[in-house]
Amino acid sequence: MKNILKGIADVVFPPRCMACGAVLIEEGIYFCPDCFARIKFIRSPLCPRCGVPFAETGEQDHICGACLLPGPAFSTARALGRYETALMDVIHKFKYGGKTAVGEKLGKLMAEFPYPAFNIMDYSLIMPVPLHPRKLRQRGFNQSA
């Protein structure tokens, strides 16, 4: 019965691309092939501290100049991809457009992503960035929590 209801719901309300709204044929994906191809996922080589990628693909991961001295006030930071194109559109929908359902999908995508040089088991604390009280009132939620 549950599968029948899901099938009907998928016909009436088909899953859509988080970025452009195109109907998704495949189950379990969040972006259409066009939008997915535009996302620039961050891969090695990168700075193991701040996560900024390096332009040269033949290089190994190494600390970038900005993290050498005095260095940031955190030990490690990672991002799924560059903040542009489809990924930026989705983040804007989540943060400013009130599309909170997108947050769950983004969270799953970030959890499944194979981050280079990062093992979550090596860390005892993952901390959300605090939100200014005015922004919290405007949005109604803290997108990083």
Q: What is the pLDDT of residue 123?
A: 66
For residue 144, is it within any domain?
no
**Collapsed DSSP state (helix, strand, coil) of residue 136:** helix
Instruction: Tell me the whole-structure pTM to 2 decimals.
Output: 0.73
| pLDDT mean for each 10 residues of the chain (145 residues) | 71 86 88 94 90 84 90 84 93 88 87 72 70 85 76
For residue 145, is it within any domain?
no
Token code pair at residue 74: 């955190």
Q: What is the pLDDT of residue 104?
A: 87
Q: 66: domain range?
A: 43-77
Q: What is the pLDDT of residue 6?
A: 67
Q: Are residues 95 and 56 in the same domain?
A: no
Q: Are residues 73 and 131 in the same domain?
A: no
Work out how many domains the chain is built from and give that number.
Answer: 2
Asked which of 28, 52, 77 is the last residue of a domain, the reply is: 77
> Helices 85-96 and 101-112, interaxial angle, to 10°?
140
Residue 31, Cβ density class (10 Å: 0-12 exposed, 13-18 middle, ≥19 buried) = buried
Asked which of 30, 53, 77 is the last residue of a domain, the reply is: 77
